[in-house]
Structure 1
Amino acid sequence: MAQLDDLMFFQRLAHAGSLTVTARELGLSLSAVSKRLKQLEARLGVELASRTTRRLALTAEGERYLTRGAAILEELAELEEALGEQQAALSGPLRVNATFGFGRRHVAPLLSRFCALHPGIEAVLELTNYPLSLGEQGVDIGIRVGEPPDSRLVARRILANRRVLCAAPGYVARMAPLTTPSDLAAHPCLVLRENDSDYAVWRFRRRDDDATEQAVKVAGPLASNDGEVIVQLARDGHGIALRSWWDVQPLLASGELVELLTGWQGVRADFHAVYQQRRHVPARIRAFVAFLEQAMPARVPDDRAGPAGPAPA
């Protein structure tokens, strides 16, 4: 059992990335964590990490101990869960990663409901601008836009989503003509600058011909790296925004924003729950992904029903 405790301790230490963070997470003193790492290295006869109080860098031996140790702990967890899977109660840790906007508005409420149904779940929702890597950073489920290119990951679609071109009714009343995407060059566009994306180029496809695509370089006097700010600027009448359906659908339904160029649509940006492919996926992971698949569409009306609200031709 001491060896398993050491493996779990080192996994926590490696994922935390520092002695100080590990001490805080475990409720121990910094000296106690440092002493335990030294004892582990003495028992193994190798140095596992070079460290300061702020940063931890694994040696080659430490990387091997982390990787092989993770496999051993996973095998043990899979064995125990498989043996007890006939029990109704779900339990154990569940770490979910999502983006700030979508995570706050939709993932957090559903995780709250899921944990109320399964009190044995110990959940952590980590919201970030950039996706965290699964496995390496201890993430069980990642909520991603689009299917992951990594074939080692399983992707389950939890929400159909597309980009929507929209503006406030006040702006629409005074706007220059807008009949094709190329006309956007004459309009102030509210640009979202995030994640080093090609933010100045907006892409569209015809509704009646998905193969026809137009890419338009846009510009405007106002921009932000935050999607909520962009939506607010659009509501204030500063120009045209290209936002996700999940984000602006309530504002389109209430008339605070109007969908434009309804004969065209932004490229699809469906949301998927992704997790690592393995022989035995823990029941808590499968259950939460299934819960998201079932509950998420009820929070956002299907975007394929057609444009919401009036819009100019």
Structure 2
Amino acid sequence: MAQLDDLAFFLRLAQCGSLTATARDLGLSLSAVSKRLKQIESRLGVALASRTTRRLTLTAEGELYCRRGALILDELGELEEAMSDRRGDLSGRLRINATFGFGRCHVAPLLSSFCERHPGLSGWLELTNFPMNLSDQGFDIGIRVGEPPDSRLVARRILANRRLLCASPAYKEAMPRLESPADLGRHRCLVIRENDSDFALWRFEPRGEAGQVRSVKVSGEMASNDGEVITRLALDGHGIMLRSWWDVQAHLAAGRLVELMPDWQGVRADFYAVFDQRRHVPQRIRAFIDHLEGAMAGRVPPLPGHPQAPWDLS
């Protein structure tokens, strides 16, 4: 048992990247972390890492210990999860990563209701601007836009979604002609800026001709790094925006926003729940993704022209 504890400690140390970060993560003193590493190296008879308080670099032996040790802990974890599944109850940790807007609006309340239904679970939701690496950061599930390019991840679609070009009725009434993406240069575009670029790239495809994507650079006098701010500016009539169906459908239904450029549409931006590929997928992961998909249909109306279809993890 002590060997497994040492292994888990060293893997955490390698993930954190420094003695200081590990001490902070584990709630220990810096001296306690340093002493524990020295004890492990003394027991093994090899140096596992060269380190300062700010940086840790694994030796060849440390890389081997980390790589083979991770496989051992994964095997043990899968065995214990399989035993838990046989009991029929859901327990253990469920750690999820999602983006801020969608995470706050939908994932957080659904995690709340799921954990209320299964009190043996420990839920953790971490919201970030960009997707986190699941295995490196210890996440069980990531909520992503689009299928991941990483073949080691399994992806299950939980919501059909598309980006829509829209504006307030007042802006539409007074706006210049807008029939194709080329006309956007005449318009006040509300841009989400996530870097220092002077423009954003909006992508569209002709309705009924999926795959024929047209990209256009847009800019405007008003911008933000936050999508909710952009939506507020559009509602106030400051210009046009390209936002996801899930985010604007209530405003469209209420008439506060109207969709523009009817012969063109924004590209697909479906939401997926992704998880690491493994021989045994814990029942808590399967059950939560089932919960997400089932409940999402009642939270976001189906994307127009796209019938919702059941999906299966098996």
- Partners of 1:196 and 1:147 in 2: CA distance: 27
Where 1:185 maps in the other structure, the secondary structure is: helix
Q: Which runs of 5+ in 2 are unaligned?
A: 307-314
Change (3 A) 1:34 1:240: same
TM-score (norm 1): 0.90
| Correspondence for 1:128 | 128
- The match for 1:34 is 34
Counterparts of 1:147 and 1:37, CA distance in 2: 39
Q: Taking structure 2 as the reference length, what is the TM-score of the superposition? A: 0.90
**Backbone CA RMSD of aligned residues:** 2.2
Segment drifting more, 264-273 vs 79-88: 79-88
Could you tell me whether the CA contact under 8 Å between 2:96 and 2:141 is conserved in 1? yes
Aligned to 1:85, the other structure's residue is in SS state helix
Matched residue pairs, number?
306
Number of the residue aligned with 2:46: 46
In the alignment, structure 1 residue 15 sits paired with structure 2 residue 20 = no
* CA–CA distance in structure 1, aligned partners of residues 197 and 78 of structure 2: 38
- The aligned counterpart of 1:274 is 274
SS of the equivalent of 2:273 reads strand
8 A contact 1:97–1:126 mirrored in 2? yes
- Report Cα offsets for 1:91-127 as digits up to 9, x if no partner: 1122211111111111111111111112222222121
Structure 2 partner of 1:169: 169
Q: Give the unaligned 5+ runs of structure 1.
A: 307-313
2:311 alignment partner in structure 1: none
What amino acid sits opposite 2:99 in the alignment? T
Aligned residue type for 1:190: L
Residue 258 of structure 1 is matched in structure 2 by 258
State the distance in 2 between where 1:46 and 1:282 align: 36
1:134-188 Cα deviation digits (max 9, x unpaired): 2122222111111111222110001100001011122112111222222211101
Residues 288, 199 of structure 1: alpha-carbon distance in 2 compared, 3 angstrom cutoff? farther
The aligned residue for residue 80 of structure 1 is 80
Comparing 145-154 with 50-59, greater Cα deviation is found at: 50-59
Structure 1 residues 295 and 151: CA distance shift in structure 2, 3 A: same
Q: Percent identity?
A: 69
| Whole-Å separation in 1 of the counterparts to 2:129 and 2:87 | 37
Deviations 1:185-232, CA, capped at 9 Å, x for gaps: 110111122379996222212223325443222221122222122112
In the TM superposition, residue 249 of structure 1 has moved relative to its aligned partner by: 1.4
Tell me which residue corresponds to 1:285. 285
Residue number in structure 2 paired with 1:61: 61
Shift in Å, 1:248: 1.3
3-state SS, counterpart of residue 135 of structure 1: helix
Deviation at residue 81 of structure 1 after TM alignment: 2.0
Inter-partner Cα distance in structure 2 for 1:245 and 1:235: 15
Note closer, same or farther for the CA distance 1:235–1:52 as it changes in structure 2 (3 Å cut): farther
Instruction: Give the 3-state SS of the residue equivalent to 2:122 in structure 1.
Output: strand
- Corresponding residue SS for 2:190: strand
Contact 2:189 2:239 in 1 (8 A): yes
